[in-house]
A = this chain, B = another copy of it.
Amino acid sequence: MKKRETSRVTIRTVAADAGVSVATASKVLRDAYGVSQSAKDRVRESMRKLSYRPHAAARGMRGQTYTLGVLLPDLHNPFFDEIMNGVHSFLAATPYQALLGFGQSQIDQEFALVHNMIDRQMDGLVMVAPRLTGQQIEDIAGQVPTVLIGLHEPRAINYDTVNNDDFESGRLAVHHLHEGGRRRIVFFSLVLPPSIEESTIVVHRERGYRAALNELKLGRYSRVVLAGQDRGSIRDQALKLLRSKTRPEAIFCWTDFVAFEVMSVARELGLSVPDDVAIMGHDNTAFCDLNIASLTSIDQSGPLLGEHSARLLIERIEGRTKAEFLTVVPKIVARGSTKVSAPETVS
């Protein structure tokens, strides 16, 4: 390792300059109790003058690091951008900073990453749609304050969850499509390891989907298609589905980027969207609104999810132990991809 030392400004330098003890300087730094206003002012002034920056690793040895870890599955679903905007905007008013890691949707990578965050003494963790099992998460939450986004675990005891009402999302989608006169509505879902299936957002959406079909006495039409996250597998399933004899009238995709792929496959097959097949996504990410896509989607307010989770995490770091489970309400944003053609005027 290269040498680049120029005698760091430490808390001792500051204390000496302000004419107080190291302990007092530390108190000022942490906004702790037991310092007079005048001492506080002097120390603050010295810190500014010397452009002192606290050494995070040293703080981490005894106290907090004021760093939060955020675990994201990947960087290509634009919905995570929205969640992070919420997280950042909440943290702006706090002394905490977020650092992110990507688990590539793989259990082992997520596990390694989370443990690295713990090793780095992060004060708390936000995990977005992790693949880890409930047990693994409980273990982690036992070591560090934890909040989950996008995993339904209403029996969690050591961590909080923040979720969209995914059951309702499923219902909304079916009702919206049915209002347009469609009945053969497919749910295009995601394959997941069985270990976590029960808690995932997609399974909840599927339940809402099925429930709504039953409400409408359309249960016999229910059909769920499974694909991975990779383009190849999405395309394969979409092709199979759209070429089948019982081609659906509508496809509700678990997330927007899948919907875009399905829409593309439909076009390749010469089908018209929405006339031959209506398509819906979920998350209402930025691309939906583009004219070239015009994708009907369900908005689950990513920024809100982000803000809530940041808030809950900090509450937990500051001592709350009772688990909280927050839910936000989804709403339909209708666009061209599910529009009903104007009734043909017979001339």
Contact = CB atoms under 8 A, between A and B. Distances in A.
Contacts of A317: 1-2
Interface string A64-101: 11010100001110101100100010000000011111
Interface hub of A74, A78, A98, A119 (most chain B Cβ within 10 A): A119
- How large, as a class, is the contact surface on chain A? 35 or more
A60 B116 CA distance: 14
Contact of A75 (B1, B61, B84, B265): B84
A111 interface: no
A57 B119 CA distance: 8
Given A76-B78, A101-B99, A292-B293, A143 B4 contact: yes
Interface in A15-72: 53-61, 63-65, 67, 69
Most buried by B among A2, A61, A88: A2
Give the copy number: 2
Interface string A1-18: 110100000000000000
A150 interface: no
B121 A57 contact: yes
A287 B286 contact: no
Contact of A57 (B60, B261, B293): B60
Interface in A134-152: 142-145
Contacts of A121: 55-57
Contacts of A76: 78, 81, 286
Nearest to A92: B109
Interface of A: 1-2, 4, 53-61, 63-65, 67, 69, 74-76, 78, 80-81, 84, 88, 97-102, 104, 113, 115-116, 118-121, 123, 142-145, 231, 260-261, 263-265, 267-268, 286-287, 290-293, 316-319, 321
Given A74-B81, A98-B101, A267-B291, 18 more contacts: A1-B123, A2-B145, A2-B316, A4-B144, A53-B118, A56-B60, A56-B116, A56-B121, A60-B60, A75-B75, A75-B81, A76-B78, A88-B104, A260-B292, A261-B290, A263-B290, A263-B291, A267-B292
